[in-house]
Amino acid sequence: MTIERSPFHVLVAGGSYAGLAAVLNLLDLCNGHPCRFSANTKTSESYPRIPVRITLVDERDGFYHLIGAPLALASMEYAEKAWIKFTDIPALQTPAIKLIQGSVVAIDPENKRAKIREHGTRRTIRKQYDYFIAASGLRRQWPTVPRSLKRDDYVAEIKKHLQQLDRATHGVTVIGGGAVGIEMASELKLVQPHQSVTLIHSRSRLLSSEALPDETKDRALSLIHDAGVKTIMNTRVTKIEEPESESDATVLTLSDGNALKTGFVINAISKYTPSATYLPDKALDEAGYVKIHPNLQLDSDIPNAEYHYAAGDIASWPGIKRCGAAMHHGHYAAVNIHQTMLQSALGTTPEFLQLNRDVPPMMGLAVGSQAVSYTPSGGTAWGEDVSKLYFGDDLGFEICWNYMKLSKPAENPSEPVT
């Protein structure tokens, strides 16, 4: 059965884990299939086909596997794998999906209109939509994310970074003992075992900003030592004195009065801000995250709030920001939008999936050839088997790629593009 009507237009800001999960699961459902994240085994005849047009806007020209950034900064071979252009992802190759490399700069929820600035041309595009999903995540700094917006520029950026590492005859120092710093230091040591790597952290325990048990934090410290990384704890870097020539060392002045000579500094102190400035202020909490209901609809008094969703890191929701949670959000947003489409087209009563507000802290952290994890049910676990379970052989790239079924060719819509 195909519902005869003009296509629903869905605008999605952000093409990372949450955005891709939302786009692809929604397209499955509108094509009459169970969504790809569902264990539902209903046949395609169980769902009516719904005409839909999805516009996906992202600043980059491709999907960047953010979890793999620490390894991408140590290995050129992996760096080239970690960024896949959207035009090279089989699951997105359908007339039902339009890709725009650009930024959503303003949303007019009352009239359901968006202003999009296209990268490169700087052209302003005005887009009418029926549903909007904010999934543009957080703005993070280099080296947590690349500065580049195009894959070719990113490859050149990583090459330059690796050349600087090769010249670091006085060793490498990573500043910041959060998840990013731990993984950057340990991945670098794993790929370049000859390199001396030191991690500096301002607190007495690693992962100090995370609501995790001390046992997990202490195990992370033990594993990073097992990986061959030196640590300086409870100490801040108060000054960085750049070398006069490439052969000289950079001198770090530490809060305990000591000085450290190093060949290269990687600043891994996590600084990030939500990217939802395109939404009205009343849609955001005090920190700039998007307020949502458990069904991911906007929790505010803006006009047409029920047609606006937020998913992933950008959403104001409990729990540690993780790619698994982001994909889970995208899945639920897709199902719930599909439910409202059915309501609009057939008069059915929507059955929304609801996020759980009681989200306990949980984390998987790669530390060289091992990993440490914490879940409420399993407690703290560690070892090479934990690394294999959480990250496979490539910091989770294949796990995420296969879970989203990005290699699965898209199904073209039966109706003509309008």
Q: Does domain 8-73+83-143+271-359+396-403 have CATH number 3.40.50.2000?
A: no
Q: What secondary structure does DSSP assign to 21-49, as a single string?
A: HHHHHHHHHHTTS--TT------GGGS-B
Provide the whole-model pTM.
0.94
Phi-psi region of 112 (alpha: psi -120 to 50; beta: other; left: phi over 0): left
* CA distances to 29, 96, 163, 235, 312 from 37, in Å: 11, 20, 41, 44, 16
What is the per-residue pLDDT for 413? 63
DSSP three-state, residue 164: helix
Residue range 24-45: mean pLDDT, rounded: 81
For tokens 């108060």, the residue is 238
For tokens 């059955």, the residue is 351
Question: In the structure, what pLDDT confidence band is assigned to residue 44 with cuts at 50, 70 and 90?
Answer: very low
Residue range 387-411: mean pLDDT, rounded: 95
What is the per-residue pLDDT for 333? 98
What is the per-residue pLDDT for 69? 95
Residue range 321-336: mean pLDDT, rounded: 96
- CA dist 266 and 264 (Å) reads 7
Q: Does domain 160-270+364-391 have CATH number 3.40.50.1970?
A: no
Question: Which has more confidence, 38 or 65?
Answer: 65
Reported as a single tens digit per residue, the pLDDT across 362-374 is: 999 999 999 999 9
For tokens 């060949």, the residue is 263
Burial status of residue 10 (CB atoms within 10 A of its CB: 0-12, 13-18, 19 or more): buried
What is the per-residue pLDDT for 418? 36
Q: Which of 78, 26, 94, 181 is nearest to 411 (CA)?
A: 94
Query: What burial letters (b/e) apply to 277-315, b meaning 16+ CB within 10 Å?
Result: ebbbeebbeeebbbbbbebbbbbbebeebebbbbbbbbb
Question: In the structure, what pLDDT confidence band is assigned to residue 203 with cuts at 50, 70 and 90?
Answer: very high
- CA dist 189 and 185 (Å) reads 6
Reported as a single tens digit per residue, the pLDDT across 287-327 is: 999 999 999 999 989 999 999 999 999 999 998 899 999 99
DSSP 91: G
Q: What secondary structure does DSSP assign to 46-95, as a single string?
A: GS-B--EEEEEEESSSEEE-GGGHHHHTT-HHHHHHHEEEGGG-GGG-ST
Provide the residue type at 237 as one letter.
V
Instruction: Output the CA angle 44-47-48, nearest 5 degrees.
Output: 110
Domain positions in the chain are 8-73+83-143+271-359+396-403, 160-270+364-391
Residue range 204-232: mean pLDDT, rounded: 97
Percentage of residues of the chain with pLDDT beyond 70: 97
What is the per-residue pLDDT for 272? 86
For tokens 């190093």, the residue is 262
Question: In the structure, what pLDDT confidence band is assigned to residue 417 with cuts at 50, 70 and 90?
Answer: very low
Phi-psi region of 396 (alpha: psi -120 to 50; beta: other; left: phi over 0): left
Residue 310, both tokens: 């937020």
With beta carbons less than 8 A apart as the criterion, state whether 288 and 365 touch. no
Q: Which of 54, 24, 12, 21 is nearest to 328 (CA)?
A: 21
**Distance separating the N- and C-terminal Cα atoms of the chain:** 20
Q: List all residues 6 or more positions away from 84 whose beta carbon is below 8 Å from its beta carbon.
A: 62, 63, 406
What is the per-residue pLDDT for 120? 86
